[in-house]
């Protein structure tokens, strides 16, 4: 889905879009 945001962390990408907090980037 949006693995490009975290670089591969799909579980983190979901929370990234939901919370909009780049803590995995």
Q: What is the pLDDT of residues 1-25, one digit of tens each?
A: 555 555 555 556 566 565 656 555 4
CA pseudo-torsion sign 22, 16, 21, 9: negative
The Cα–Cα gap between 14 and 2 comes to 8
Give the pLDDT confidence score for residue 22 in this predicted structure.
Answer: 59
Q: What is this structure's pTM?
A: 0.15
CA geometry: angle 13, 15, 19, nearest 5 deg: 125
Q: Which three-class secondary structure string do you get for the chain?
A: CCHHHHCCCHHHHHHHHHHCCCCCC
| Domain that residue 5 falls in | 1-25
Give the pLDDT confidence score for residue 16 in this predicted structure.
Answer: 57
Domain total for the chain?
1
User: Within 13 Å, how many C-alpha atoms sit on residue 15's CB side?
Assistant: 10
Give the pLDDT confidence score for residue 21 in this predicted structure.
Answer: 60
């Amino acid at each position: 889905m949006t693995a490009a945001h975290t670089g591969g962390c799909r579980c983190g990408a979901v929370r990234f879009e939901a919370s909009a907090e780049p803590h995995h980037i």
